[in-house]
Amino acid sequence: GAGVSQSPRYKVAKRGQDVALRCDPISGHVSLFWYQQALGQGPEFLTYFQNEAQLDKSGLPSDRFFAERPEGSVSTLKIQRTQQEDSAVYLCASSLGSRGGNTIYFGEGSWLTVV
């Protein structure tokens, strides 16, 4: 596609509910990242995929957070038993290569509010 596409754009979840956020990266991009951006903060790294392999998940805040990219293209970030502190914008990003130095393109984010 022309850019990184994320859905849903906005999600309101009741505390305890499970949510799934989808990311469709730019076609052919090898690297895919998920970031969490709380209000008034910069984005914080959650996890990184190179094709279908999840090479770094050090930023996932708890075992309630799970991400997958089974075919090396679309990725899903799943949050189980949501809590209020999970409220944030979840940004997906992709880049063409697997080495540093490639431009990273961001999607518009999925705005999650947990009530």
Partner 1 sequence: EDKVVQSPLSLVVHEGDTVTLNCSYEVTNFRSLLWYKQEKKAPTFLFMLTSSGIEKKSGRLSSILDKKELFSILNITATQTGDSAIYLCAVTNTGTASKLTFGTGTRLQVTL
**Out of 10, 55, 83, 113, the residue judged to bind partner 1 by CB under 8 A:** 55
CA distance linking residue 71 with residue 110, whole number of Å:
22
Compute how many other C-beta atoms are within 10 angstroms of the C-beta atom of residue 102: 14
CA atoms of 49 and 57, how far apart (whole Å): 9
Enumerate the H helices of the chain as residue ranges: none
Give the per-residue contact string, 5-34, with partner 1 (x = CB under 8 A; - = no).
Answer: --------------------------x-x-
Q: Give the residue with the Cβ less far from partner 1, 50 or 80.
A: 50
Cβ distance to partner 1 smaller for residue 16 or 61: 61
101 binds partner 1 (CB under 8 A): yes
